[in-house]
Each structure stands twice: as C-alpha cells, then as structure tokens.
Amino acid sequence: MEKRKVRFVDPGKLYRMLKPELDAAYFEIMEKGELINRGHLKSFEDNLAKFVGTKYAIGLNSGYDSLHVSMRAAGIGPGDEVIVPAHTFVASCSAIVNVGATPILVDVTSDFNIDVNKINEVITSRTKGIMPVHLSGWMADMPAILKIAEKYNLVVIEDACQSLGSSINGIGAGAWGTAGCFSFYPFKILGGYGDGGAITTNSEKIATYARRMRFNGEDRETGEYCGHGFTCLLDNMQAAFLDVKLRYMRQWIDKRKAIANKYLEAFSDIPDLLLPHYNRAGFDHVYQNYTLRSKQGSEFSDYLKEHGIEILTQFRKPYYKHKALNLPDRGFPETEALSREVCSLPMNVEIDEEELDYVIQVVRSFYGLN
Ligand SMILES: Cc1ncc(COP(=O)(O)O)c(C=O)c1O
C-alpha cells in the first residue's frame, strides 16, 4: 500500500470548487467597502432562519458567542444551574461558567448525546436550563428533553454547533429550544473562512437582545445603550461567504450520507469497530463528523496518522478532567469509555473516491483485512 496524505477537511480544495461565487462575493464587498453589519449579513441571517425553520437568526462571531449571548438573553446567571453533557466541546460548559451559572454535568449514551434518563436525577430548585448538545450531526432526544423542560419550566439552549441541517421529525436542530446555537468554524459542515456563529430563535425578545448585545448593547436605531454588551458580530464578509455555501447544504448533506454509507459497507465486518449508524425513526444524521469507536483506541488512531490520514480524537481527555477548569468529576462511565475509543475519519464534501478508498484500505489493514 503506497502511503498518501488524506486531510480531515480541505478548505483550499472547497474554495477552488466554489471559486467563481466566492470571488464574486469578495470583490463586491471589497469594491463597496461593506464590512460591518451590511446587507450580506442580513441576507445570510434571513436564509439561515429559513433553512433552520425559525423566525430569526442573528449572526455572531463564534459558536461560543452564540451560547454565551443566548444564555444571557434567556436570563441565566449567578445562582442558576444548567445541565450539560459530560461529553462535549469545552465551549458548551465554559459559556455556562462565564455567565456566572453552575454547569451540572450528565453522562451520555452510546450515541454520544446526553442521557435523557439521567436528567431528572440532577434537577434541583436552582436548575434554570438544559443545554443539549447535538454532537457530530446527530441530535439529542429533543422530544424527551422538551417534556422535562416543560415540567420544570426550564430554558433550553440547543448547542447545535455540530448539527446544522440535522432534524427530528422534520424539525431542524436549532428550532426546538428557546434558542439554537451554531458555529461556522472552518471544520464545520457550513464552515467560514475564519470564526463565525449564529443564534436561531422564534423569540423576538431573544433576537432583539442578541442584536443589541453583539453591538456593545446599542439599539442601532435609537442609539440607546440597553446594557453592557460585547463586540461579537458576524463579519459581513464571512456572512457573504456563508450565504454562498448555504445554497449547497442539502446537496452536501446527501454527499456526507453517501460517504457514511460507504464507510458502513466497508467496515461492517469488523466487530472491534462501533460505527455511528443508529436507525432511530424520525432522526436524521447529517454526519458533521464520522466518529466511530475502536476497541484499540489510540493504537488505532495512531496507525491512521502514521499512514498519512488526518483524524480527530475528540476528546481523549474529557473536559472535566482538566484541573484548571475546576469541575466536579462525579464519574461518567459512558463518557470515559467512549473517550478512550473515539476516532473521527475524514468526512467532507471535497474528498474524492481515491482518498476514501485509501482511508478504507488503511482501516482494514489495521485489522489485518484486505
Ligand atoms: C459542540 C460545540 N459547541 C461549541 C462550539 C464552539 O464553537 P466556536 O468554535 O465557533 O466558538 C463548538 C465548535 O467548535 C462545538 O463543536
């Protein structure tokens, strides 16, 4: 087997595929000098809201900002507890801490998302919200979560940073909760050329709060400062690029599903691999990531790396085990088991068949198979 390099994502290659449209957006903005809070941002927000299925979308500087601002908008602050999965990117938890609230960690199930059967156990009189995280393109059980939220009158902030385009019973990620939060970090299914994020919501109150707070608290029509805010708008240039890419999302999701099926076919005879195919009625996986579990853990992921394949092992060390974060480790067996085994294979729309075949060949060769 001849060694080659396969990138996890290849933004340069995707740029070349969309060059005429992206270049047109770039030159138009540069010519007009429209950089902050201009028409491209508004257009992208309108299209994103339509795509997700909410009344409003508000472009922010990152997924983290969307989590942070939407929690403030929902009135979460000191003294409040917010339930969050033990297996997620650290930003979900940091946003809770940075509004002054206390994160209450709950273990996940084998689909990597919060275990809804463990949420009731941690609800107290201080619980103010739940932050389900839809990891890798597969949504948390929102019907069950909304039932709990209704019973205890809780705010639901969906961390949909990894799941734009995913849905349950046709209702999109980001359209279920009080607010939905998205990231347009370059590795994401809808990736910008730098950082970016957005809040989606049906609440006019939350939309207005986010629009003001992203702009130093200012009501841009009256000039009134409505609170101490931040500077965290999505740049007009990024919005224009994202608006171009958003047009391709459905097509790209189909391509991701085809790649996932190719991996499934190629690996279904390997008992030491647990593949991310769940077959749950109404749930749609969009494969932001193809995260499998290998019983051989780092031995498996190191072998792929040695053979030139870029992979992600998020997250070998769970975030609550990082001392400086000062989080209680109550013991989360499923999080710990899957953390040792996770490995995300290259999954992107710019990958070609030869590269995929090479990834498959290398994975099979690790298990001594042709
Ligand atoms: C689950 C999750 N939450 C939050 C974030 C934060 O997004 P950003 O990097 O845009 O701040 C990310 C992405 O990196 C993520 O994957």
- pLDDT category of residue 170 using cuts at 50, 70 and 90: very high
* 183 Cα nearest atom in ligand 1: 10
* 67 Cα nearest atom in ligand 1: 4
Residue 344 within any structural domain of the chain: yes
Do 240 and 325 fall within a single domain? no
| Residue 184 CA to ligand 1 centre (angstroms) | 8
At residue 283, the 3 state secondary structure works out as: strand
Residue 301 within any structural domain of the chain: yes
Report the residue among 82, 96, 162 best suited for mutation to probe ligand 1: largest number of ligand atoms under 8 A from its CB. Answer: 162
- pLDDT category of residue 265 using cuts at 50, 70 and 90: very high
Do 95 and 230 fall within a single domain? yes
pLDDT for 319 equals: 98
Q: DSSP strand E in the chain: where?
A: 56-60, 81-85, 102-106, 127-130, 155-159, 167-168, 171-172, 179-183, 197-201, 273-274, 283-284, 290-294, 342-345
| Residue 347 CA to ligand 1 centre (angstroms) | 17
| Residue 161 CA to ligand 1 centre (angstroms) | 5
Do 222 and 285 fall within a single domain? no
* Final residue in a domain of this structure, among 200, 217, 246: 246
* 355 contacts 307 by C-beta, under 8 angstroms: no
* Final residue in a domain of this structure, among 246, 267, 291: 246
Residue 4 within any structural domain of the chain: no
For residues 210-223, give the mean pLDDT.
Answer: 97
Do 64 and 131 fall within a single domain? yes
Residue 74 within any structural domain of the chain: yes
Per-residue pLDDT of 102-121, as tens digits, reads 999 999 999 999 999 999 99
Residue 333 within any structural domain of the chain: yes
Do 193 and 312 fall within a single domain? no
Do 202 and 274 fall within a single domain? no
* 187 Cα nearest atom in ligand 1: 14
Do 154 and 78 fall within a single domain? yes
Flag whether pLDDT at 1 surpasses 90: no
Is residue 129 left, alpha or beta, with left meaning phi > 0 and alpha meaning psi from -120 to 50? beta
Count of domains for the chain = 2
For residues 227-250, give the mean pLDDT.
Answer: 98
pLDDT for 370 equals: 93
Flag whether pLDDT at 53 surpasses 90: yes
Do 232 and 294 fall within a single domain? no
Residue 2 within any structural domain of the chain: no
Do 215 and 255 fall within a single domain? no
Give the strand pairing for 283-284 and 167-168: antiparallel
For residues 80-109, give the mean pLDDT.
Answer: 98
For residues 198-212, give the mean pLDDT.
Answer: 98
Neighbours of 39 (CB within 10 A): 13
* Final residue in a domain of this structure, among 228, 246, 264: 246
- pLDDT category of residue 219 using cuts at 50, 70 and 90: very high
* 162 Cα nearest atom in ligand 1: 16
Do 38 and 178 fall within a single domain? yes
Q: Which CATH number goes with the domain that contains 147?
A: 3.40.640.10
For residues 39-50, give the mean pLDDT.
Answer: 98
pLDDT for 365 equals: 98
Residue 355 within any structural domain of the chain: yes
Q: Which CATH number goes with the domain that contains 270?
A: 3.90.1150.10
Do 176 and 233 fall within a single domain? yes
Residue 238 within any structural domain of the chain: yes
Ligand 1 first shell, C-beta below 6 A: 62-64, 88-89, 91-92, 133, 159, 161-162, 183, 185, 195, 197
Closest among 324, 318, 262, 313 to 291, alpha carbons compared: 313
Do 44 and 191 fall within a single domain? yes
For residues 3-20, give the mean pLDDT.
Answer: 97
Report the residue among 9, 64, 189, 214 best suited for mutation to probe ligand 1: largest number of ligand atoms under 8 A from its CB. Answer: 64
Range of 279's domain? 249-366
